[in-house]
Structure formats: C-alpha cells, structure tokens
Amino acid sequence: MNINFIDKNKTITTILLSLFILFTFSSFILITNKYQDIEKEINTKDISNLIYKIQSQLEFNHKLALSFSTSDEVYNFLENKNQNYIFKNFRKGSYTLEDVGLSYYILTNKENKIKFSTYKRGTQIDDIKNFEVFITNDSKELNTINKVIIYKSEAYYLSKTPVYKTDYENISNGFLYTGSKIDIKKLTNLSHSFNNIKFISNSKIKPQTSKLNNKETSSFKTIIHKEIKNNLNYNEISFYNNHKDLIFTIRVKSIIKNINHTKEISLIIFLGLASIAIFILLYISTSYRRELKLQQESIALKIQEEAKELKTKVQELEKANKKLYKIAHTDFLTKTMNRRSFFTHAQNHFNFAKKNDEILSVIMIDIDNFKKFNDKYGHSVGDKVLILFADKIRNLITEKTIFGRLGGEEFALIVKNTNLEDTIIKAEKLKKSIEEIKLVIDQERVKITASFGVSDNSNCNNIDEMLQQADTHLYNAKESGKNVVRSRLNFC
C-alpha cells in the first residue's frame, strides 16, 4: 500500500477526529449550558412558588382575622357583656384554632391591654407572656397589620385587626391579634422541591445595594442570592419589610441532577472516541434528543403536579372560606341568622321594597320571662328554650322569610309582600304555636310564651325606623301583660 496514501489518510483521519472531538466538546458545552439554563428556570420557579405560598398563607391569616374581628360576640366580650363567648368558642376540648390553622389568638382593649389569649395545642413558645408583650408592643402604633415577625429566632405570621360591631357604627373597642408559626416543617410542606430548608441568622446581601432577583409582594420584599456549589443549588432568600428592615432569612438547597447526568454521558462518549468516532457522534445526537425529551416530560410532569397541588390548596381555601362565612353569619346556638346577617338582609329587602313600591312587614319577638328560666333552672335550660323557640318559628315560616336572633331572647322576622293586617294574623299563629312548645323539667311542664311587636314600611324612610316602630309595639306588648301581639292598629 502506498505510504503517502496511508499518511494522507492518517492525516485526514487525525484531522477528522480532531474536528469531531472539537465538535463534540463544543456540543458538550452547549448542552451543559442548556441544562444549566433549565435548572436555573426550574430553580427560579420553585423559589417564586415558595414565596407565593408564604404570601398566600399570610393573606389567608388576614382574612381569618377579619372574619373573627367583625363579630358582635367579640365586641361584646371586650365590653364585658358576653363572658360566655370564651366558653362557646375556646372551652377546653374545642379545636377552634386547629380547624382554621392558627397558632395563637389574642384579644386586647383599645389601650392594648390583653383581655384574652389562647394557643393551639402543642404550640411551643418560649415565655408566652413576653411573646404577648412583644406582639402587642411591636404593633401598637398601627391599627391594621399583616406581616411576618421574628420572636427569639422563630418566625410567625401576624395579623392585627380592630374589633368592630356589625351595626355599621364603625366603632372599635379593641384589637385582635392572630397568626401561626412558620417552622421548617411548614416551609418544607409548602415546597417539596427543596430537600433542605433552614433559617439563618444573617444575610449576605443588603436591600440598599443588591439588585439580585428582587421580588415585590403586598406585605414584604424579598432579595434572593443564588449560588451553585458541588452540583447543589444554594438559594438564600431574605425577607424585608417596607422600611427595608430584615425580617428573616431562609436558606434552601436542591440537587442539580441534570448536569450530573450529562457529565456521565459525556465521559462515556470521550472514552470511546478513539475506536468508535462515528458511533460516538450518533450516540451524542440520539442521547441528546432523548435526554431533552425526558427533561421536557419531567418539567411538564412537575408543572402538572404543582398545578394539581395548587388546585387542591384553592379548594381547601374555598371550603375554609365557606365555613368561615357560615360561622360569621349564623347564630351559634339557634342556627338562625345572627344580628349582623339579619340587618344586612333586612336593609336589602327594605331598599328593594321601597324601590318597587312593595309592602314589607316586620315582626319582633321577645320570649317572656326568659331571665327567670336562667335564674331558676340554669343557662342550659335557657339555651334549650332558645333552641326550641327558634325551631318552632323556623318550621312555621317559608324559606324566603328573613329570621334572625338580634340578641339574648329577642328575635325578628321580615315578611315580604304582606300587609300589616295579614302579618298580625301570622304573628297570632306564631304566638299560639309557641304556647304549644312542650318543655318538661323535673316532671313539671314549663310554659313558654312570647310577646310580639308588628310594623310595616309605611311612612318609614329606612329599616331602622321600621324596626324601631316594631320595638316600640313590642314594649307595649310587654307592658300589656305579655303573650300578646301589638301594632299601630291597637292605637287607632
């Protein structure tokens, strides 16, 4: 064989192999960079998802605080008019805080003096008294707060809202502080993408100088420092308030799997280049397409799982909102509308009737001698009387009739498209039915009666005037010997 031909082919082969190695190396760099970009994108999405979930939990806590603080029961408790509130909602054995995911519940008067506080079972707080002083003093300058605080190296959600009555007076007599602890377990449950999450005592960066990955939320600002070491993603997330004060910092870590896998494949390719150059070229092409497809499928699956998880969280939040709405609008004992809900519906019906020139009537009812039931037989019998009374009324009215408990033993009904005379007839029927309630205590039948005041919307400019007229007639019924129905027709 011609030596020149061999040398020529050797040179060509060497050149081809050199070009192929250069091409392979260049391809390897491009592929690795591609995977690094994908890893960065996934890492960025994971961080954004974690921050979003922390913010969502903070907003959820604030909605809970608003639901609790706009309650006549809480307002009256701070006025020392409803000492039974604690027993109803936070007595021993109840799971009120556990049901809504709160760690603590603190009520103060307007001077920030603590009137009541309670904590979820298993809550471990170092020196609870100091914790309560820290909470109230940290927030005493503002009426409404929704943020994250640090107490003795522990992070907590904090929502502060004023306590209002539900009769549109917009008068606050105290404050409600609620929230939950942010521990490592909760953070890990919020984002399963990170296998190591921990609080750190200081941050590597300051908000005045850093411009890395700034993310704004309604409650705080986050600054993220990213670093890759030993095939691991290290992310340091610092949370600052609106005054650029550091709240807390967490460090999360995740393994970079894709780049490791790519390096292993490339190592096999380089070891076989000398003998199977063409095969290596084909292998690189096939392997790259396969790995890219797997990566895309993995990302798609991850997004699908996160979407499913988010959907589940949204459904759980909707269920919790429905439950809170029912709690906020229903009387705990009688299962009728509470005062706030009744006045809201009554005002809407009055406005509609006035706009459409329709008749609207109201019946106010007060159980006779109710205080004697409590004094003679105890509050448990008094509660039973209220329940039997409410059940009897509910069974005699339609679903369209507005029925609510205004407080104590006083109830009211809104009757649509019914004139005063027919409403009085309805009230008389209700009065007779109440007399038929059977309540036996110690083998003695206890008689239950009630007094009624009836009014309509004629010559009334608003629902308050209408209810005031009915209340006046109810007072006259009480003065007339009780167990009677009174209206303006009795004075004509």
The DSSP annotation for 354-396 comes to HHTT--EEEEEEEETTHHHHHHHH-HHHHHHHHHHHHHHHHHH
Structural domain ending residue among the three candidates 284, 305, 328: 328
354 in the same domain as 280: no
Is 212's pLDDT higher than 60? no
Angle at which helices 379-396 and 420-435 pack, to 10 degrees? 130
Residues 379 and 323 in one domain: no
> Picking from 96-100, 109-113, 355-359, which range would have the lowest pLDDT averaged per residue?
96-100
Q: Which residue has the tokens 């556990």?
A: 98
Report the chain's mean pLDDT, rounded to a whole number: 81
Tell me how far apart the alpha carbons of residues 482 and 452 are, in angstroms, rounded to a whole number. 9
Question: Which residue type sits at 322?
Answer: K
Is 12 domain-assigned? no
Examine the domain organization and report whether 52 and 125 are in the same domain. Answer: yes
Output the pLDDT for position 2: 47
Identify whether 9 is part of a domain: no
* Token pair of 235 as six digits: 């992310």
User: What pTM, to 2 d.p., does this model score?
Assistant: 0.44
% of the chain exceeding 70 in pLDDT = 78
Q: Could you tell me the residue range of the domain that residue 383 belongs to?
A: 339-491
Mean pLDDT of 184-210: 63
Cα–Cα distance for residue pair 98/103, rounded to 1 Å:
8
Angle subtended by helix axes 277-329 and 3-69, to nearest 10: 0
| One domain, residues 350 and 262 | no
Question: pLDDT tens, 343-369?
Answer: 999 999 999 999 999 999 999 999 999
Sequence-separated (6 or more) residues with CB below 8 Å from residue 86: 77, 116
Same-domain check for residues 320 and 364: no
The 3-state DSSP class for residue 32 equals helix
Indicate whether 200 and 278 sit together in one domain: yes
Separation of alpha carbons 213 and 414, rounded Å: 58
Q: Are residues 280 and 366 in the same domain?
A: no
Per-residue pLDDT band for 211 (boundaries 50, 70, 90) equals very low
Domain boundary among 328, 350, 382: 328
Give the helix/strand (H/E) hosting 43: helix 3-69
Is residue 362 in some structural domain?
yes
Is 90 part of any domain? yes
Find all residues with CB under 8 Å of 371, minimum gap 6, and list them: none
pLDDT surpassing 70 at residue 264: no
Residue 425 has pLDDT above 80, yes or no: yes
Contact partners, residue 381, CB within 8 Å, separation at least 6: 373, 374, 441
DSSP one-letter string for 49-106: HHHHHHHHHHHHHHHHHHHHHS-HHHHHHHTTS-THHHHHHH-TT--HHHHHT-SEEE
321 shares its domain with 360: no
CA distance 431 to 365: 9
Residues 301 and 387 grouped into a single domain: no
Minimum mean pLDDT among 123-127, 197-201, 348-352, 440-444: which range? 197-201
Q: What is the rounded distance in angstroms from the CA atom of residue 143 to the CA atom of residue 160?
A: 7
Residues 101-120 have a mean pLDDT of 88
Residue 35 to residue 257: CA distance in whole angstroms: 10
Q: Which pair of tokens denotes residue 131?
A: 């914790």
Asked if the structure places residue 364 within a domain, the reply is: yes
CA-CA distance, 405 to 471, in Å (whole number)?
A: 14
How many residues in total does the chain contain?
492
At 427, which CATH number?
3.30.70.270
Residue owning tokens 């904090």 = 158
Q: Are 229 and 370 in a shared domain? A: no
How does residue 14 score in pLDDT terms, banded at 50, 70 and 90? low
Query: Quick check: helix, strand or coil at residue 200?
Result: strand
pLDDT at res. 259: 56
The band of 6, judged by pLDDT with boundaries at 50, 70 and 90, is: very low
What separation in angstroms does the CA of 396 have from each of 20, 89, 417, 440, 453? 91, 30, 17, 22, 18
**Gap between the Cα atoms of 222 and 212, Å rounded:** 10
Cα separation, 414 vs 342, whole angstroms: 9
Instruction: Choose the most confident range, by mean pLDDT, from 234-248, 267-281, 314-328, 398-412.
Output: 398-412
Structure tokens at 269: 């390719």
Between residues 153 and 336, the one the model is more confident about: 336
Mean pLDDT of 183-212: 62
Structure tokens belonging to residue 154? 């522990």
The number of folded domains in the chain is 2
Q: Where are the alpha helices (DSSP H) in 217-357?
A: 257-271, 277-329, 339-355
Same domain, yes or no: 199 and 65: yes
Residues 267 and 376 in one domain: no
SS3 at position 241: coil
Q: Which residue has the tokens 């308050």?
A: 464
Angle between helices 257-271 and 3-69 (to 10 degrees): 170
CB within 8 A of 39, min separation 6: which ones? 233, 256, 258, 259
Q: Which two tokens stand for residue 128?
A: 């609870």
Cα R_g (the chain), whole angstroms: 35
The model's confidence at residue 213, banded by pLDDT at 50, 70 and 90, is: very low
Mean pLDDT over residues 119-130, rounded? Answer: 83
Comparing 78 with 338, the larger pLDDT belongs to 338
Q: What is the CATH number of the domain that holds 191?
A: 3.30.450.220
The top-scoring range by mean pLDDT among 102-111, 307-316, 351-360 is 351-360
Decide: helix, strand or coil at residue 234: strand
Question: Mean pLDDT throughout 142-147?
Answer: 84
CB 410 within 8 A of CB 365: yes
Q: What is the mean pLDDT of residues 312-319?
A: 83
Q: What are phi and psi of 452, to 5 degrees?
A: -125, 140
**Does residue 356 lie within any of the structural domains?**
yes
Q: Classify residue 261: in a domain, yes or no.
A: yes
